[in-house]
Structure 1
Amino acid sequence: MTPAPEASDAQPAMPAHGGHDAADPRRWKLLALAALGVVYGDIGTSPLYSIRECFHGPHALAVTEGNVLGVLSLIFWALTLVISVKYLVFILRADNQGEGGILALMALLAPAGRGMATRTWVVVLGLFGAAFLYADGMITPAISVLSAVEGLRLAAPTVFQTWLVELIAVAILLGLFRLQARGTARVGAMFGPFMLCWFLLLAVLGVAHIAALPSVLKAINPVYAFQFFMENDWEGFLILGTVFLVVTGGEALYADIGHFGILPIRASWFGVVFPALLLNYFGQGSLLLRDPSSAVHPLFEMAPDWALYPMIAVATLAAVMASQAVITGSFSLTLQAIQLGYCPRLRIDHTSSDQKGQIYIPAVNRSLMIASIALVLGFQSSSNLAAAYGIAITITMVVTTLLFYVLVHHFWKWPTWLAVLFAGFFLGIDLAFFGANLMKVFHGGWFPLAIAAAIYVLMSTWQDGRRLLAERLRASMLSTELFVADLLTNPPIRVPGVAVFMSGNPMGTPLALRQNVAHNHVLHDRSIILGVQTAEAPHVDPDHRLETEEIGEGFYRATLRYGFMEEPNVPRDLRQMDNVGDHIDLGTVSYYLGRETLLATPHSGMYMWRESLFSFLSRNAQPATLFFHLPADRVVEIGAQVEL
């Protein structure tokens, strides 16, 4: 049995504060430090490759004063408008009871959508955005680690050949993904202080080079960005695809608010990350204007000769931590997808006993690890990977802006003109970046598009398959009241004890119950028909977790509700039942589950290949016994074939 999403009429409300994290100043400061290591690793290592890709390689710009100041102006305003304003000020307010990310926003909007058409579009956009985030989760570790390790070729080009650099990068990625099992809390505790040192190092290097040419700061004036476009025409527009590299990681800020809270993430950005990045980018610009040959690797060229190897080592560690943001974001995204019914059940390990949302999903970790290593070996250099990087996140950012417009216009009740102005302004920026990145499709951008398309097919097939399966079961389902009335005419043998029959629809008679009576002619004294539903909210009030109803003749109907960031535990929560006579002895309860063997047929529903795919996913999903924490020695599974 799979948990079914629960419809809700609740209207998304404008949050009045930054969540739970403002209550304890010491706690949010510690969380802000940890957030540096988990949330800001991706965007924090963009100086390794962003400006370099603008002025080095086959499509590089000439290192002229106009081009350098123009690119710096674009970087400044991209970080300011996209990250500081759009995400940190506005998007982070669109939390779903403290949880963020594209699926959390989708869940916030979908149940309150006006009509099926609105809900359908919200779901489709949300799934597309989520699919592209997974693609980004594969590319970010590869490009971050590879770009840092490539500094070794600058130090000793004859020793560190391409194959050796790739081997070192692969070894580092293997270590990173093995580390994930320790959990976000421990990883953040280790990474946070180091990333603070990394950002301070970026700032110090930037200040030193800005001091050598203070006039570089005039690039803050947006006039230089406009002049850049006028002078470079089409080539200037295409360079936006490279400038976009400075804001990749922005979506991770939103996805990880469930791990750390809104206030710590904002404090880390405005207090440390934003100023450090700006100082370093302007420092790199100053270096380029004074020494155009430094475009080969400007960040490493900023360091004194004696500090090159230490700088490479520090940058490599920072690159490892850069991957942490998208990895933990992928874990959160997967948990939400499972609970909302867009992903098969997977094994989920909760790595913190006191901080909700800190999880580890082995299957996702393995998939990201294999894909990242394959990218390193396949693309071989960070410049080649840069062509594949960015397009996935631009699409996710477009989706986020569209969904945020639905939120502010329809639910927060912003005036139409203000909502349209807001969405139009930021959508214009997002679409400009998207258009520039489209040119990368034939140079590696096809990879994230292909991965995202495959993940979207999997998620939408699982969603449609569950709906189709529920319809097939509902068509042959008998109401519990009629079933009980029929038992009175031919009563089976009653035995002492409690039996729990799991059902996706507690209003009907589960197949396992009907099969048990038909073949064994036995019933327990008390039979509970139990449904488990997932609310389209991250958490459910424990007082409203369980609803029960007595049907008669020893039958009871019960519904357990969980949020999409909560882990179902049926035995624990059934303890709340107090209307079944004697206290339930969990050690003697028998749990009956229906195990459906799905047969793909040409009947109306889905295409045959999608039905076969859904059947394959169902067979390989985590067993319901583990997912619902049922005692394995108390479970009885009764099978049946269902034609889709």
Structure 2
Amino acid sequence: MNGGEADQVKIEEEKETMKNDTEKKLKDRKVSWAKLRRVDSLNLEAGRVTMAENNHSKMGWSMTLMLAFQSIGIVYGDIGTSPLYVYASTFTDGIKNNDDILGVLSLIIYTIVLIPMLKYVFIVLWANDNGNGGAFALYSLICRHINVSLAPNQQPEDMELSNYNLEIPSTKQKRAHRLKQKLEKSHFARILLLLLAIMGTSMVIGDGILTPSISVLSAVSGISKSLGQDAVVGITVAILIVLFAMQRFGTDKVGALFAPIILIWFAFIGGIGIYNLFKYDVGVLRAFNPKYIVDYFKRNGKDGWLSLGGVFLCITGSEAMFADLGHFSVRAIQISFTCITFPAILAAYIGQAAFLRKFPEKVADTFYDSIPDPLYWPTFVVAVAAAIIASQAMISGAFSIISQALSLGCFPRVKVVHTSVKHHGQVYIPEVNYMFMIGCIIVCAAFKTTDNISHAYGIAVVGDMLITTTLVSLIMLVIWKKSLWMVILFFFTFGFTEIVYFSSQITKFTGGGYFPIVLAMFLTIVMGIWHYVHKERYMFELNNKVSSEFLRELATNTHVHRVPGIGFLYSELVQGIPPIFPHLISNVQSIHSVLVFVSIKTIPVSNVASEERFLFRQVESREYRIFRCVVRRGYNDAVEEPLQFESQLIQNLKRFIQQENFMIDVNEGNTNVTTTTEQLVPISGKESSTEMDDVSGKEVKPRLSNSSNRIIPSYGGVSHVSSDSIRSLPGSVTKSSNFFAPIVQGPEEEIKFIDKEMEKGVVYMIGEAEVVAHPNSSILNKIVVNYAYRFLRKNFRQGEDSMAIPHKRLLKIGMTYEI
């Protein structure tokens, strides 16, 4: 056998192996496809699922302990430095009765046990989304199980993802199923859930500004007696600038650096607390009896209720355990909190209470006054370092949830830098980092003292806790399917506690409490406006997607030519061909020899495995060489470099062509037949020449280029589109061909054709849609769209920046959408 015959035999063997593999996959996926009845779905790639490792995969103890150690430096700085100011913030008018110390200590003990320990460590941490926490992770988890997303871009293939972890309610669990149906049918419920997620995110961002301010200021205040308050504020501002400058190194490096310092801090405060306990009054241990809480409120009445605002500061930072979860793991945080953080801070509060029983007049500066003289300056240095680190918890958490909000279309475009290869959730956002720094400097300069900042601080924290309680209760009902009494017990126990604390905090509104509320409202409005227009843009494209009749008319149009190379036309639409395409044709009358409509879609999961990322469908006949591609990403997935993304997409396209050819052969029972008819869709088992609406399942009437919907060309500030401009891009040549090329006889020839066009260059085309309010819309809509959204869009990153599109090969196509 000569070399040529051997190669031919080898090719035939590979084809036979691929065919057998494909038949096996089809057989395995037959049940799944039977459930998916929508014609306009991207078919074969959805069946190519492997159970890739995710954040729920079992992690070795060495890695878990390492993450537990790192989490000490990232997560617990805030709650660990609360002993600096809790007693001073609670007894603002001094201690009137010595037994009040026992009442407040008892409140502190049971508040720490109830909220951080029971609620967060043992319950809320398990309501994670593939290892990620925060308000948007909860919202993403809910959207995956309940169809409550406002943007109708769900696809049946998404449920096949290995990270989707979807359970369909059984007939025995009728309560969860009924609630799920009611939520899906209620537009009000959809808006309310999104609003809760946005408000929770806004409050965590507020924490990210207030936490560094109060933590560093309280630590530096140890030298206020000798230098004065103005000097304290100046030193605080200088420290904050250094802290925010360090964020670019990433959580992994910062955590490894900070963890030993926080560990030393916990050793100091725990050891000093035990020392003070035995030196001054062991009797304070009676505070473990909750009877002293009742006695405290009987003695102080309204003043006792108002003092709860100070007591609540002992658990600020608890929400960081959940918000920072994506940086670590559930087990790591559980170990570090229960074994180190909890006993250390408890000993610190008990020791301070013992000191105050003997020196109640020193409550204004309890922490520093209770330190033994030989340890004063070492403790001061460690306290300043710990306070700096305390800021890290909420900053890291804010980065994580803003990244999630951005991916789900709820935050203006910003640059997200993934700082760790090992841990997907560790991110850094430069724009947000500098906004936090400026905000912290303004807060320190305006409020000047920790007492003033504490008035503002607690409201944002308790507000976020209430939202978390509400969303987790819904998850317990619908997803975990817990018994009703357990959900009621969870909701009312923690909800009632947090509402009581919130009622006390809100009384400080005029004293500084207005700041986090105003900030949260502002951020909620910004995020709400961005998501509203994002959703309306998508609905516009969905309602004006290109019909198959338009493509057939295009194929017979002798004025439309194909130019060499491959074109990627970007759009958010995942259910058809976007209206930007006929606009391009009407202005250019030339398209590339291979055209791919690329939609970047964020799935409500944290990560999508690389082999599950690309979905393809061939548009109409094979000779068109036009494909649709949905690129699925999780909200923690990093954006690939342009060359890497380009290579991945082309390789997956060629794999799709091979598998699609075998798919057709299997359906026809013929291993040698090729076809140029429209793509067969295995989930329905039928051919179709009509577009189907993926949302409602109803047939969409053909929409030709002269649709009555208003699509207005726009060239202001955008590259003018012409055939010459396409030909002048890198890799393009001036020679063009008719719309139809010679019919390709098999997948090998088609793959060779794609490789040949790849060598001639890839051009990226992106629709630069100018969104304006419809002339007949309301005044509010005109203000939101024409002014607020336009301002945000112009002052944040553009789409090509967030998608890492190379500017030298970019062509913008201007349009105007009226919504």
> Which bracket does the TM-score occupy, shorter chain normalised?
over 0.9
Structure 1 residue 436: Cα displacement: 0.8
How far apart, in 1, do the equivalents of 2:570 and 2:55 lie?
35
Deviations 1:12-51 (A, max 9, x none): xxxxx99558522111111111101100011010001011
The SS at the match of 2:652 is coil
The corresponding residue for 2:539 is 471
The corresponding residue for 2:270 is 203
Task: Choose from 127, 134, 138 the match for 1:101.
Answer: 134
Task: Choose from 590, 600, 603 the match for 2:763.
Answer: 590
User: Which amino acid in 2 is paired with 1:477?
Assistant: K
- Using the TM superposition, name which of 310-319 and 170-179 deviates more: 310-319
Task: Choose from 476, 488, 496 the match for 2:564.
Answer: 496
- Using the TM superposition, name which of 71-80 and 515-524 deviates more: 515-524
Say whether residues 1:41 and 2:74 are aligned partners.
Answer: no
Q: Is the 8 A contact 1:571 1:630 kept in 2?
A: no
User: Which amino acid in 2 is paired with 1:581?
Assistant: I
Say whether residues 1:366 and 2:536 are aligned partners.
Answer: no
Task: Choose from 342, 346, 353 the match for 1:285.
Answer: 353
How far apart, in 2, do the equivalents of 1:625 and 1:586 lie?
23
Task: Choose from 470, 493, 502 the match for 1:402.
Answer: 470
Matches within 5 A, 1:189-228: 189-212=256-279, 213-228=281-296
How far apart, in 1, do the equivalents of 2:517 and 2:799 lie?
33
How far apart, in 1, do the equivalents of 2:55 and 2:218 lie?
36
How far apart, in 2, do the equivalents of 1:296 and 1:555 lie?
73
Say whether residues 1:576 and 2:652 are aligned partners.
Answer: yes
TM-score between both structures, scaled by the size of structure 2: 0.74
Task: Choose from 496, 511, 514 the match for 1:443.
Answer: 511
How far apart, in 2, do the equivalents of 1:447 and 1:197 lie?
34
Q: Is the 8 A contact 2:544 2:579 kept in 1?
A: no
Matches within 5 A, 1:138-537: 138-154=209-225, 156=226, 160-212=227-279, 213-479=281-547, 481-491=548-558, 492-537=560-605
Q: Is the 8 A contact 2:564 2:760 kept in 1?
A: no
Q: Is the 8 A contact 1:571 1:629 kept in 2?
A: no
Structure 1 residue 511: Cα displacement: 4.3
How far apart, in 2, do the equivalents of 1:186 and 1:541 lie?
26
The corresponding residue for 2:108 is 75
Q: Give the aligned CA root-mean-square deviation in angstroms.
A: 1.9
How far apart, in 2, do the equivalents of 1:581 and 1:314 lie?
64
How far apart, in 1, do the equivalents of 2:245 and 2:57 lie?
30
Structure 1 residue 353: Cα displacement: 2.2
Structure 1 residue 205: Cα displacement: 0.3
How far apart, in 2, do the equivalents of 1:45 and 1:417 lie?
37
Deviations 1:436-484 (A, max 9, x none): 11111111000000000000001111111111222333444322x2332
The SS at the match of 1:556 is strand
The SS at the match of 2:566 is strand
Q: Is the 8 A contact 1:341 1:462 kept in 2?
A: yes
Say whether residues 1:565 and 2:639 are aligned partners.
Answer: no
- Using the TM superposition, name which of 363-372 and 296-305 deviates more: 296-305
The corresponding residue for 1:110 is 143
Structure 1 residue 181: Cα displacement: 0.6
User: Which amino acid in 2 is paired with 1:488?
Assistant: A
Pair member with larger Rg: 2
Say whether residues 1:30 and 2:66 are aligned partners.
Answer: yes
How far apart, in 1, do the equivalents of 2:191 and 2:771 lie?
26
Task: Choose from 783, 797, 800 the match for 1:609.
Answer: 783
Q: Is the 8 A contact 1:110 1:123 kept in 2?
A: no
Runs of 4+ in 1 over 4 A off after TM superposition: 17-22
User: Which amino acid in 2 is paired with 1:393?
Assistant: V
User: Which amino acid in 2 is paired with 1:642?
Assistant: Y
Closer, same or farther: CA 586–510 of 1 in aligned 2, 3 Å: farther
How far apart, in 1, do the equivalents of 2:138 and 2:356 lie?
42
- Using the TM superposition, name which of 568-577 and 461-470 deviates more: 568-577
Identity %: 32
Say whether residues 1:62 and 2:237 are aligned partners.
Answer: no
How far apart, in 1, do the equivalents of 2:367 and 2:201 lie?
32
How far apart, in 1, do the equivalents of 2:608 and 2:190 lie?
22
User: Which amino acid in 1 is paired with 2:802?
Assistant: F
Q: Is the 8 A contact 1:18 1:263 kept in 2?
A: no
The corresponding residue for 2:86 is 50
How far apart, in 1, do the equivalents of 2:759 and 2:613 lie?
18
Closer, same or farther: CA 634–571 of 1 in aligned 2, 3 Å: same
The corresponding residue for 2:679 is none
Task: Choose from 193, 202, 209 the match for 1:122.
Answer: 193
Closer, same or farther: CA 269–549 of 1 in aligned 2, 3 Å: same
User: Which amino acid in 2 is paired with 1:33?
Assistant: F
Say whether residues 1:624 and 2:624 are aligned partners.
Answer: no
The corresponding residue for 2:698 is none
User: Which amino acid in 1 is paired with 2:114?
Assistant: L
Question: Could you list the runs of 5+ residues in structure 2 that have no partner in the other structure?
Answer: 1-40, 42-52, 147-182, 658-749
User: Which amino acid in 2 is paired with 1:148?
Assistant: A
Q: Is the 8 A contact 2:124 2:472 kept in 1?
A: yes
User: Which amino acid in 2 is paired with 1:509?
Assistant: I
Structure 1 residue 294: Cα displacement: 2.1
The corresponding residue for 2:669 is none
Question: Could you list the runs of 5+ residues in structure 1 that have no partner in the other structure?
Answer: 1-5, 7-16
How far apart, in 1, do the equivalents of 2:808 and 2:220 lie?
51
Structure 1 residue 111: Cα displacement: 4.3
Say whether residues 1:642 and 2:806 are aligned partners.
Answer: no
Structure 1 residue 550: Cα displacement: 1.0
Say whether residues 1:136 and 2:204 are aligned partners.
Answer: no
The SS at the match of 2:536 is helix
Deviations 1:574-632 (A, max 9, x none): 13211263355388111110101233455337532211211222223322222222222
- Using the TM superposition, name which of 369-378 and 511-520 deviates more: 511-520
Deviations 1:298-335 (A, max 9, x none): 11112223433332221111100000000000100110
Closer, same or farther: CA 503–19 of 1 in aligned 2, 3 Å: closer
The corresponding residue for 1:89 is 122
Q: How many pairs are equivalent?
A: 621
User: Which amino acid in 1 is paired with 2:807?
Assistant: A
Q: Is the 8 A contact 2:570 2:598 kept in 1?
A: yes
Q: Is the 8 A contact 2:571 2:599 kept in 1?
A: yes
Closer, same or farther: CA 587–357 of 1 in aligned 2, 3 Å: farther
